[in-house]
Structure 1
Amino acid sequence: MEQRFSPPVFRGRLHDARTATSIGRWLGAAFAVCFVTGLVSHVLQHPPHWLADHLPSRPVWGYRLTQGLHVASGIAALPLLLAKLWTVYPRLFTRPPVRSVRHALERLSVAVLVATAVFEPVTGLLNIAQWYPWPFSFVPAHYAVAWLLTGALVLHLAVKYPEIRAHWSRRSPGTLALPAPDALDRRSLLAAVGAAAGAVTLTTVGQALTPLEDLDLLAPRHPDHGPQGLPVNRTAAAAGVGRISVAQWRLVVSGPRPYALTLDDLRAMPQHEAVLPIACVEGWSKSAHWTGVRMTDLLRRAGAPPHAGVRVVSLQTRGGYGVSEMGQVYAHDPLTLLALRLNGRELTPDHGFPARVIAPNRPGVLQTKWVGRLEVLL
């Protein structure tokens, strides 16, 4: 006997536009914060040539704040996204699946929206854990899909605006009065979703917001765990940096008046101190006490003019970001140091011995470790 497929029947009261709109407001806010702060992060890591000399080095905690918000909002978006998809997934089974060309285009745009909305927080979460089970480079793919998600979301809001407006609040025109059980169930669902988003945020944000570090239960980094009281993302062994001989190491500075310095030469130069945060793209951050030579003093000794930038070259042989560039503002900020000491002690190998860069308001991946060369950029 031939059996015909019959679509599932959804009798739940919460798969409706009112519930979807309520959760969508929270999810939209999380995505908006995540997109804006992610754009800031991308520009600071990969500035266009015309902007590189104008990126601000103050406030010193700027990147720590924006990247902490980026990761926190991305994590909070995960339970909100799951709840949003739960409220709307019965519409996947509507019949007929395509009613017109306009309807087909609308469903296609929704498919793009759902795919990109899942891709962004999931890949971001795996990046926080430094697990990359895909063949593509994370940063350019994550950045490109963020724009695709934003475009799909704007299009979806434009198409659904009349429905969203009708269900935005209890007093919105067109919103029907709800039976008591429906209102009670909706409030319970929204409370549960809000509690889930709050819980995952509270148990992870301590990796950046140090007053909450004792609640940092689910984040992969704790701001106090690591050599010299500071976490390490890439060890010297992982970067291919072997044992560095102090007797043989030289800091080579190229410019109009090139020169080279031994570690003892650097130690003999005027030492300056700064309290600056390391703020990692994975979302953790921690302030520390740094001691070293001002970058601007090293550049001035090489004959660099005030508008010059600097290219910093690491001794690492594996991994990305072995070379970083500083524009004029960063290079000549008095808080930008070629650091030799961390929290009162000589740098450990994993923190970049014998010398590393530390600069205010700068992504951690650009705070180059194991520095071997500085090149003046005119």
Structure 2
Amino acid sequence: MRLPTEDDFPSRLRSAAVTARVGLWLGVCFAVCFVTGLVSHYAQAPDHPVPFPASPVWGYRVTQGLHVVTGTAAVPLLLVKLWTVYPRLFRRPERGWRPLVLDLLERGSVLILVAAAVFQLASGLANSAQWYPWSFSFRTTHYAVAWVAIGSVLLHVAVKLPVIRAALGADVDDPALDRPAATRPGVLTRRGLLRTTWLAAGVAVLATAGSTVPLLRRVSVLAVRSGDGPQDVPVNKSASAARVTASATSGAYRLVVANGDRSIELSRSDLLAMPQSTHDLPIACVEGWSANGTWTGVPVRHLLDQVGAPRGSDVLVTSLQESGPFTTTVLHASFADDDRTLLALALGGEPLSLDHGFPARVIAPDRPGVLQTKWVARIEVRT
């Protein structure tokens, strides 16, 4: 049994003309994913040298929705691109040191790019479905490999730029850049293949975008969240899963608000007796889903004033949940000082359901949902 060669792939569809056009849109998807991924990673960081903005309230909802949608669209684009370049894996190495170096750079960049892209897309889709069949940290690993992926994209584009420019500048049916073996017509025309690719990417977007765009929920059959849930807002982790049912419903519950040696303890009745504010704020999660909610509660800034906390203070928020990566989160000053940031007690005009964080939860504008701590037990000024 012999290894295949380029001559074994005679289809004219496997051409630089098709590869360059699909690669252009794949590059756009990768760029959007990379930039929006940086936004999400920074938003979740415990320290913000530059304050993360609390406005517009829908900012994180849009960026993370774009992140997941463009990542999903990249799947069919990547598959078609790999199909078109597959024969080049079997070509003979170039002769001469300069062509050989460029050839090795191209092959190396493609190898790294494919490995990084497949890992990013596969792990990202698994994260959207909240399925983690691995032991490493998704957030840190996904972030690190994103730099590898974007670096390999830039290297690949630099090496192939003359071919890319020539292919995009010529008609898609121009055979000038075709491989010598590419002489047989395909099942589709090149334009037909491209239209099918755009259609597949579009269907992938429509099938998943409903997690972020409510109008598309009826057609987004692959969306990880339909928008259904207690009080019309989805839930990622229930009170039962977090093992807080007993402590959250106990009559002994008290919220502790602390600033150094000054602290107060408040029951839910005490919190309800305070001045209440109501704001329409979306909750948006890293998995790409989001939903609007009308939240009512006590502004966090009002609670901090009770213990003399100065403006500009970062705050540690601790949950009744005893284990997990986000049992304690940092509420940065840009959010803590915003009047729209609430210790929410009600959603949609009704008391918070247990799964939405009863007796009290944090809700802040333009903040990742994973940081909108539920079942809040303690609010403490960070020192």
- Range class of TM-score, shorter chain: over 0.9
Q: Which amino acid aligns with 1:306?
A: R
- Structure 2, unaligned runs of 5 or more: none
Report the AA paired with residue 146 of structure 2: A
- Counterpart for residue 18 of structure 1: 17
Q: Give yes or no for contact 1:246–1:263 (8 Å, CA) kept in 2.
A: no
Structure 2 distance, partners of 1:348, 1:30, is: 38
With normalisation by structure 2, the TM-score equals 0.92
Q: Within 1, Cα distance between the matches of 2:144 and 2:221? A: 31
Return the match for 1:361 from 339, 362, 366: 366
Matched, 1:347 2:352: yes
Distance 1:346 1:259 in 2: 23
Offset of 1:294 from its aligned partner? Answer: 0.3
User: Which deviates more from structure 2 when the two are superposed, residues 289-298 or residues 340-349?
Assistant: 340-349
C-alpha distance in structure 2 between counterparts of 1:367 and 1:193, whole Å: 38
Which residue is 1:294 aligned to? 299
Q: Identify which of 49, 66, 69 aligns with 1:72.
A: 69
Please give the per-residue CA displacement for 1:78-108, whole angstroms capped at 9, x wherever unaligned. 0000000000011111124998561334322
Task: Please give the secondary structure, in 1, of the residue aligned with 2:168.
Answer: coil
Which 5+ residue runs of structure 1 have no aligned equivalent? none
5 and 320 in structure 1: CA distance in 2 versus 1, 3 angstrom threshold: closer
Asked if the contact 2:319/2:377 (under 8 Å) is kept, the reply is yes
SS in 2 for 1:369: coil
Q: Within 2, Cα distance between the matches of 1:12 and 1:21?
A: 16
Q: Which residue of 2 aligns with 1:34?
A: 33
The residue number in structure 2 matching 1:186 is: 190
| 1:63–1:361 contact (8 Å) kept in structure 2 | yes
Q: Deviation string for 1:44-88 (max 9, x for gaps)?
A: 01154423xx21100000000000000000000000000000000
- The one-letter code matched in structure 2 to 1:316 is Q
In the alignment, is the contact (CA less than 8 A) between 1:311 and 1:323 conserved in 2? yes
Question: 1:315·1:371 contact (CA, 8 Å) conserved in 2?
Answer: yes
Amino acid at match of 2:315: V
Note the 1:193-212 alignment, pairs <5 A: 193-212=197-216
Pick closer, same or farther for the CA change 1:99–1:226 going to 2, 3 Å: farther
User: 2:17, 2:177 within 8 Å by CA — same for their partners in 1?
Assistant: no
Residues 1-378 of structure 1 aligned to structure 2 (within 5 Å): 5=3, 7=5, 9-46=8-45, 48-51=47-50, 54-96=51-93, 102=101, 103-170=103-170, 176=176, 185-223=189-227, 225-243=228-246, 244-256=248-260, 257-378=262-383
Contact map agreement 1:167 1:175 (CA 8 A) in 2: no
Report the CA distance between 1:25 and its aligned residue: 0.8
Asked whether the equivalents of residues 311 and 374 of structure 1 are also in contact (C-alpha less than 8 Å), the reply is yes
8 Å CA contact retained: 2:280, 2:293 = yes
The answer (yes or no) to whether the contact 2:19–2:85 under 8 Å persists in 1 is yes
Identity of aligned residues (%): 52
Shift of 1:132: 1.1
Distance 1:93 1:4, change over 3 A: closer
1:216 CA displacement: 2.0
- Is the 8 Å Cα contact of residues 240 and 318 (structure 1) preserved in structure 2? no
Q: Are the equivalent residues in 1 in contact too, given 2:321–2:375 (CA < 8 A)?
A: yes
How many correspondences in the alignment?
372
| Shift in alpha-carbon separation, 1:321–1:4, aligned structure 2, 3 A | closer
2:46 touches 2:330 (CA, 8 Å); kept in 1? no
Amino acid at match of 1:226: G
CA positional deviation for 1:175: 7.6
Q: Tell me if structure 2 keeps the 8 A contact 1:314–1:369.
A: yes
